[in-house]
Each structure stands twice: as C-alpha cells, then as structure tokens.
Structure 1
C-alpha cells in the first residue's frame, strides 16, 4: 500500500507541474529502502489512468540507503532488512543508515502548443 500512495503522489505532482499540458515523460528519484522498479512503474501507470499523465514514459532513478558499520567501517547498500540489523562484512550490530528516503519528481516532459516538447525541472 505504501507504494500505491507514493505513485499517486508522483502523478499528482506531475499534474501540478504540467499546468494542463499532456505529460510525455517523468523522471523520479526514489531514495530509501529497496523498491521494485516494475511495481513503481506499474503503480504510476495505474494512478495516471484517465489523467494527462496517462501513457507517460517513466525514468526511475533508485537511490538506496546504505549502512556504515561502526566496528569495521564497511559501507553497504541496503538491499534487505538484514543489512539494517547487522553488518554483512563483520556481523556487528552497531550500524548506522545513511542516505535519504525522499521521493523527488526531478523533471517532466510536456507537450506544449508553441514547441514540440518542453522539459520542466525542479
């Protein structure tokens, strides 16, 4: 369910930026815990049905969290919940997560009556 809400938010943000123009593409950066790109892309497509974002190409950039081990100094990307609990290199439980859990709509590409395509960024 978390992914569905995120996908709806992405579509809503794209619609606000598009200001009534059809959206041909969106670029989204997803930070935090691992997500399945196919699930996110499908969720955005479902959330976009019947809107000006329907059928837009999705450029999804994944920016996962990492953990840093206080004991051995290893830095490991988070690809499972186990990495958040213990260092995969030495087994120590003194790990700290780094990174962000933001979802950022970085840019959209819209149809503009005066030009062929226009890219709108942050």
Structure 2
C-alpha cells in the first residue's frame, strides 16, 4: 500500500497549493523506487475524490535508480530487479543503489480563473 500513501501525499500537496482553485493536472517525478503508473493513476483518483483535484490527470515521470558496481566500477541505471542485484556489465553482485527515494510534485495545472466583472 506504499503507492496509496504516495497518492494521498501528492493530492494533499496539490490541494494545499491550489488555494481553492480547481486542479486539472499534476506532474510528479519519482526516483529511486519502482512504481506502476496504472496503480498511481488509480490511487490518485481515489485520493482526489471529493477534493478540488477530483478528475485531474496525473503525468508520472519515473526515473530509474542508478547502481554502482564495486567490482568493475561501472555506474548504470537499474532497468529491472536483476540489475539491482547484479552488475549488467560484469555480473558481479557487489552493487549498491546510489539514488535516494525521491518524489517531487513538479507542476500543477489549474482551471482558468473566471474573469471578475465590475
């Protein structure tokens, strides 16, 4: 259920920054942790229900973690679970993940404000 907690936090941050305006979309960058975009989309919709972010779209940018092989010295992006356990270059298992988990709410799109009439 890590993803649902992540979605709750994204919605909370968007709603706080919205200041009562209707949110139409958010762009979120996730690094260092594998996430399923479909699960995030569904979780966001559930978390946003009844808020100013209800119906907003989610653009998810997933940055794979990088790993460093202590055996051969190469640093590569971990494209799958195997590359987190063994170096894709030399096959060595003395690898370490280099990136910390990070979630950044990069942007929020709002519904255009109605023009005020005098």
> What TM-score results when the alignment is normalised by the length of structure 2?
0.86
2:103 matches 1:98: no
Aligned-residue Cα RMSD (Å) equals: 1.7
Query: Counterparts of 2:16 and 2:112 in 1: how far apart (Å)?
Result: 15
Task: Report the secondary structure of 2:100's partner residue.
Answer: coil
- The match for 1:111 is 111
More strand by share: 1
What are the ranges of 5 or more consecutive residues in structure 1 without an aligned counterpart? Answer: 116-122
In the TM superposition, what is the alpha-carbon distance from 1:15 to its structure 2 partner?
A: 0.2
How far residue 14 of structure 1 moved from its aligned partner, in angstroms, is 0.2
Quote the Cα distance in structure 2 between the aligned partners of 1:32 and 1:55: 28
- TM-fit CA distance, 1:92: 1.3
Q: What residue is the counterpart of 2:56 in the other structure? A: 56
1:45 pairs with 2:48:
no
Say which SS state the counterpart of residue 45 (structure 2) adopts. Answer: helix
Report how many aligned residue pairs link the two structures.
Answer: 115
Unpaired runs of 5+ residues, structure 2, are: none
